[in-house]
Structure 1
Amino acid sequence: MSGANRHYVLAAGGTGGHMLPAFALANELERRGHHVALITDERGANIPGKPDFLPAHIMPVGRFGKNPVRWLGGVAKVMEGRKMALRLFENFEPSAVVGFGGYPTLPALLAARSAKVPSVIHEQNAVLGRVNRLLAPRVNAIGTAYPQVARMKAKWLDKTYLVGNPVRAEVLALRDEPFPTFSEDSLLKVLVTGGSQGASILAQVVPDGLAMLPPALRQRLQVTQQCRPEDVGAVRERYRNHDIPAELATYFENMAERLADTHLFIGRAGASTIAELTAVGRPAILVPLPIATDDHQAANTREVVEAGGARMIRQSSFTPKELARQIQVLSQRSGTLGNAAHKAWNCGRPDAVKDLADLVESFGGAEMMDVIRVGKNNARGASQGVAVGQGAARDAAEERVS
């Protein structure tokens, strides 16, 4: 296989948080002249945004819950998926297999190890996920979205690289656009989402919280809110009773355009959400999902909150009164929102997809360019967000390939 035209297999679980970074990497690798295939489950194959050129191979998914009785069935599914992945590898001959977390990743990466194909995992959250923890000792490299990742063992750091979390091209295109003007006379444009399906807690709290703002500020509100279908009617009624103009929908296709006009975001703290907010530079009030595994959404907020680009409110404390208080703090002076936006922007990693592609391409002959080494040789650089030099990255890549 020629150095300029290689094959890569991406494996990801069936949620947007896993699939969207995989789609972004697929587009980048295809742009560089490579062939890419996808391993996922039925849910993943139906996530919007899959590139047309990307064939999806649906594998059996073995899930491992708290009941050990079901583990035998889960193991059987994993081994069945591993055999299917091995057959794919025989025909496709990948230079590397890249896992993005979720159960479909497990059989694909186990097959890669069996076939002696180099493997990489990418962790989108600030806590290493369950499947990625199982795979971390067995892979050649780990790409992370944050400088600090909980559940990451010290012995894995030498093969760990800070790349960031890839975001959609249409969102990344907004990075060099200025923050929308906000003054004492302008509208305060608020965007509220709870992920792809919205969140009921936001439907319950946000309209009443906005209504508690001082009249001079409340009269300048312009709200866009994504809601669950069952919540739309009640939320519309609340805004109508509070005399607050609001556009409501269960899904917004043009989310990048909405984000471009936004002064303040209110919503959950999923990895993709924070990656997009920091890529564009938008201040936020973040309400982590309390049932998220290992409380990873709260961990995701740490970097941007410490930088001053966002505020985090635990769901147990997320009341209309507290929300109104936080909004007032952020909007009481004309420059406060703009300063927070700049601090969020500084947390963005706009080269995430390029850096991840460089890391993946290093398994096949290409040099790895300016990807931050998180291990002991570059601990200071990772914590400060300073890229290592090309020579150090190249040496690390050669160590990994040899």
Structure 2
Amino acid sequence: MKQNSKILIAAGGTGGHIFPALSIINEIKMNDFIVITDQRGENYFNNFFSNKNINHKIFVHKVSSPSNELFIVKLRSIYQLLISLLKTIFLILLNKPQVIVGFGGYPSVAPVIAAKLLKIPSIIHEQNAIIGRANKLLGKISNLLALSFFETKNTENNHNLIYTGNPTRKEHCLRQLSYSAPNKTQKFEILIVGGSLGANFFSEQVTAIICSLPRELRENIYITQQVGKNDISKVKRIYNNHQIEFFIESFFDNIFEKFKKAHLIITRSGGSSVAEILTSRRPVIFIPLPTSFDNHQLENTKLITNIGGGWVLDQNNEVVKTLKKLLENLIKNPKKLVIASNQIKKLSKDLEVKRKNKSATEFFSDVLIDLIKTNHKKISKPC
């Protein structure tokens, strides 16, 4: 692909949509990028581009879900979509991108519709094991619907599917780093990542569960935890009161470094979280967000838990008792973690074979480059 191809990237403002987009931009950075996002996503993209020499323009579109039951809210959402569509058509005519890539969320809707109207090739990427509302619509009009999970639900009527996996940053790929359980002279290191949705549950409930462990176990653990800014001082005080060593921040810029050191991850199960577990090959306890659309976070966990690579707990069903018992078991029997890590390693290798022995980021980038080269006349065969 010649340098300085113009690529329009559209993504909603949550990490699950943003992080795959950033991974692809970083992989093929010798190009010009036009970014369409919402107010939440603007900070992610600004922070990403601030220390990188990548040509880009960022445009913020105000869009919202039309699924609200209130008629006036539906009308407002449709109006916002129409405005976004007009703005996008103008941007495309002015900047002439060769391809449009949607990473989900409502900011992706207008760009992919505009691509269809203006006959520009487009790709939609779905992060979860159950396709989202916006992607379900857009997948029918885009050239390719790229899947993070080999068997994504509710895609039966789509004939343009291709399995790519979920792109992650290169730093997260720890395939060359072996996993070992903590020995008697090491602390048992637990990484807790609550995510932007439902983080209070991790700050309050998960913290309390860890502090309820027997003293002899608390003395041998080290906690690295993502905590909301408003909860940092409270969580630090609780851990100090229970003589637990910890490192707490509201956001980890070098999260991959935390993954390297962790013996166990406790996290939600959004698409990006599952992808990071796959690439880091760390044992995991998933606590899915119970309010996720179509309960897709629970569905996401099955890829790893079904092969024994981790454990899944129901936040609404005696999680306090269950998580405490599980943590006690794993701390006392660290060989179970090694078995889980080996299972994830095997799964990760099997999925790479389906991507021609490439990472999700590399394979998705190749598909994108191929689409630009051929102008959608000869696309790689979908799965």
TM-score band (shorter)?
0.7 to 0.9
- In structure 2, C-alpha distance between the alignment counterparts of 1:135 and 1:367, rounded to whole Å: 19
Q: Unpaired runs of 5+ in structure 2?
A: 353-357
2:359 equivalent among 351, 355, 364: 351
| Aligned residues of 2:121 and 2:375 also touching (Cα < 8 A) | no
Distance change >3 Å, CA 317–CA 180, structure 1 → 2: same
Structure 1 unaligned runs (5+)? 369-393
Q: Does 1:246 align with 2:246?
A: yes
State the shift of 1:20 in Å.
1.3
2:74 maps to: 71
Cα offset, 1:271, TM superposition: 1.5
Which amino acid in structure 1 is aligned with residue 282 of structure 2?
A: R
Contact between 1:123 and 1:144, CA under 8 Å: does it hold in 2? yes
Shift of residue 239, structure 1, vs aligned partner: 2.2
Hey, what does 1:390 align to over in structure 2?
Answer: none
Task: Give the 5 Å matches for 1:220-231.
Answer: 220-231=220-231
Q: Which residue of 2 aligns with 1:381?
A: none
2:48 maps to which residue?
A: 50
Mapped to 2, the partners of 1:228 and 1:109 lie a distance apart of 34
- Structure 1 stretch displaced more, 140-149 or 224-233: 224-233
Q: Matched residues in 1 for 2:8 and 2:35: separation?
A: 6
Where does residue 388 of structure 1 map in the other structure? none
Residue type matched to 1:397 in 2?
S
Number of the residue aligned with 1:373: none
Within 5 A, what are the aligned runs for 1:4-83? Answer: 6-31=5-30, 34-47=31-44, 49-51=47-49, 52=52, 53=54, 54-64=56-66, 65-83=68-86
CA contact (8 A) 1:165 1:275 kept: yes
CA distance in 2, matches of 1:114, 1:305: 42
Q: Is the 8 A contact 1:9 1:98 kept in 2?
A: yes
Structure 1 residues 37 and 395: alpha-carbon distance in aligned structure 2, compared to 1, 3 A threshold: closer
**Contact persistence 2:198–2:289 (CA under 8 A):** no
Task: Tell me if the contact between 1:197 and 1:227 (Cα under 8 Å) persists in the aligned partners.
Answer: no
2 CA distance for matches of 1:204 and 1:334?
26
Match of 1:103 among 90, 96, 106: 106
Matched residue type, 2:222: Q
Question: What is the aligned-residue identity percentage?
Answer: 29
CA contact (8 A) 1:3 1:364 kept: no
Relative to structure 1, the CA distance from residue 233 to residue 45 in structure 2 (aligned partners, 3 Å threshold; closer, same or farther) is closer
1:212 Cα shift? 4.4
1:177 counterpart = 2:142? no
Q: Which amino acid aligns with 2:108?
A: T
Aligned residue runs from structure 1 range 82-97, under 5 A: 82-97=85-100
1:191 aligns with 2:174: no
Q: Which amino acid aligns with 2:362?
A: K
Distance in 1 between the 2:21 and 2:236 partners? 36
- CA drift of 1:326 comes to 1.3
Mapped pair 1:300 → 2:300: yes
Q: CA RMSD of the aligned region, Å? A: 2.6
1-side partners of 2:62 and 2:236: how far apart? 42
Counterpart residue number, 2:161: 160
Counterparts of 1:327-342 in structure 2 under 5 Å? 327-342=327-342
Does 78-87 or 106-115 show the bigger shift? 78-87
Query: 2:284 and 2:291 mapped to 1: Cα distance?
Result: 21
Taking the aligned partners of 1:264 and 1:22, their CA distance within structure 2 comes to 27
Q: Secondary structure at the match of 2:290?
A: coil
Q: Distance in 2 between matches of 1:340 and 1:327?
A: 14
Larger mean Cα displacement after TM superposition, 21-30 or 54-63: 54-63
Deviation at 1:275, TM superposition (A): 1.0
SS at match of 1:106: helix
- How many angstroms does 1:100 deviate by? 0.7
CA distance in 2, matches of 1:194, 1:399: 35
The residue correspondences of 1:195-274 to structure 2 (distance < 5 A) are 195-196=195-196, 199-274=199-274
**CA distance in 1 between partners of 2:378 and 2:85 (Å):** 32
Q: Cα–Cα, structure 1 residues 244 and 364, in superposed 2: closer, same or farther, change >3 Å?
A: closer
Answer whether contact 1:209 1:319 (CA < 8 A) is retained: no
Contact 2:194 2:268 (8 Å CA) reproduced: yes
Q: TM-score, normalised by structure 1?
A: 0.84
Offset of residue 55 of structure 1: 1.6
Q: What's 1:365 paired with? A: 373
Report the more deviating stretch, 92-101 or 110-119. Answer: 92-101
Q: Secondary structure at the match of 2:210?
A: helix
Partner of 1:372: none
In 1, Cα distance between equivalents of 2:374 and 2:264: 41
8 Å CA contact 2:8, 2:36 repeated in 1 = yes
> 2:355 maps to what in 1?
none
Per-residue deviation at 1:238? 2.8
Distance 1:159 1:361, change over 3 A: same
How many pairs align? Answer: 369
- Structure 1 stretch displaced more, 45-54 or 35-44: 45-54
Partner SS, residue 371 of structure 2:
coil
Distance 1:88 1:367, change over 3 A: closer
Give the deviation of 1:58 after TM superposition: 2.2
In the alignment, is the contact (CA less than 8 A) between 1:12 and 1:39 conserved in 2? yes
CA distance in 2: counterparts of 1:59 and 1:43, whole angstroms: 10
Please say if residues 29 and 35 of structure 1, whose CA atoms lie closer than 8 Å, have aligned partners that are also in contact.
no
- Greater shift, 225-234 or 275-284, is seen at 225-234
